């Protein structure tokens, strides 16, 4: 009888430790703030007026939501959004020197990417999962990056990446990383 109690206590302690470790491993860093707004009326363009039905804020370590019929993230799983919603992704990045930055966005539907309030690229309408990219010079220091993304209906998904170089050619050839993931010379600020 005495052994049974200790075994149960040991099992409970092991389960508690395992659950804590599992939660710690699967909790993303607070790098990218995502404000998700579900509209009660259809959204067909990026700047269509939104009638807010639901709004929530989630934190992610990177901007990666694979193609599919429902918004999904590798850490959180399915999020329950399928149509007529916006996401405002906000993060801060720090460059250790002046660089050329190549931004690549794959999206279904439209998006707008801006740095320090200046629009760098956008696709304001409905489209199938497609690629957009630009290369811009970015100065040393801290910069605020925002991506406004909308999903009307049908398939959805968004992934945002970047590559850096001292020249445009180096930025084109550079390995791409998800926005939110640090790279040599680029650091994203945990909130």
CATH number at residue 184: 2.60.120.380
Do 80 and 146 fall within a single domain? yes
Do 52 and 143 fall within a single domain? yes
- For 125-143, how does the pLDDT look when each residue is reduced to its tens digit (9 = 90+)? 999 999 999 999 999 999 9
**8 SS3 class:** helix
- pLDDT at 172 (0 to 100): 96
Do 158 and 97 fall within a single domain? yes
Do 99 and 9 fall within a single domain? no
Q: What is the pLDDT along the chain (191 residues), one digit of tens a residue?
A: 566 666 666 666 665 565 554 444 455 689 999 999 999 999 999 999 999 999 999 999 999 999 999 999 998 899 999 999 999 999 999 999 999 999 999 999 999 999 999 999 999 999 999 999 999 999 999 999 999 999 999 999 999 999 999 999 999 999 999 999 999 899 999 98
Do 20 and 35 fall within a single domain? no
Do 35 and 19 fall within a single domain? no
This prediction has a pTM of 0.86
Q: Where are the beta strands (DSSP E) in 52-138?
A: 52-60, 64-68, 72-73, 77-78, 85-95, 99-108, 111-115, 118-123, 130-138
Per-residue burial over 128-149, b if 16 or more Cβ lie within 10 Å, else e, is ebeebbebbebeeeebebbbbb
Report the distance separating Cα 43 and Cα 48, nearest Å.
6
Among the listed residues 180, 96, 188, the one whose alpha carbon sits nearest the alpha carbon of residue 138 = 96
- pLDDT at 28 (0 to 100): 67
Among the listed residues 138, 146, 147, the one whose alpha carbon sits nearest the alpha carbon of residue 186 = 138
Do 37 and 88 fall within a single domain? yes
Its domain, for residue 115, covers 31-188
Do 62 and 103 fall within a single domain? yes
Do 10 and 66 fall within a single domain? no
Residues 135, 170: contact at Cβ < 8 Å? Answer: no
Do 52 and 146 fall within a single domain? yes
Residues 155, 128: contact at Cβ < 8 Å? Answer: yes
Residue 15, strand partner residues? none
């Amino acid at each position: 009888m005495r052994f049974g109690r200790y075994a149960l206590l040991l099992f409970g302690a092991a389960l508690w430790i395992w659950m804590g470790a599992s939660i710690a491993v699967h909790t993303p860093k607070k790098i990218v703030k995502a404000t998700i707004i579900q509209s009660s009326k259809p959204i067909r363009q990026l700047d269509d007026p939104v009638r807010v039905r639901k709004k929530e804020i989630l934190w992610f370590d990177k901007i990666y939501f694979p193609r599919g019929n429902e918004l999904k993230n590798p850490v959180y799983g399915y999020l329950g959004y399928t149509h007529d919603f916006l996401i405002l992704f906000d993060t801060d990045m720090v460059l250790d020197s002046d660089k050329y930055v190549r931004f690549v966005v794959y999206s279904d539907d439209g998006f707008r990417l801006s740095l320090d309030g200046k629009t760098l690229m956008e696709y304001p309408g409905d489209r199938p999962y497609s690629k957009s990219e630009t290369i811009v010079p970015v100065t040393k220091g801290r910069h605020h990056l925002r991506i406004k993304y909308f999903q009307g209906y049908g398939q959805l998904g968004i992934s945002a990446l970047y590559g850096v170089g001292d020249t445009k050619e180096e930025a084109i050839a550079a390995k791409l990383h998800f926005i939110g993931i640090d790279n040599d010379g680029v650091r994203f600020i945990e909130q």
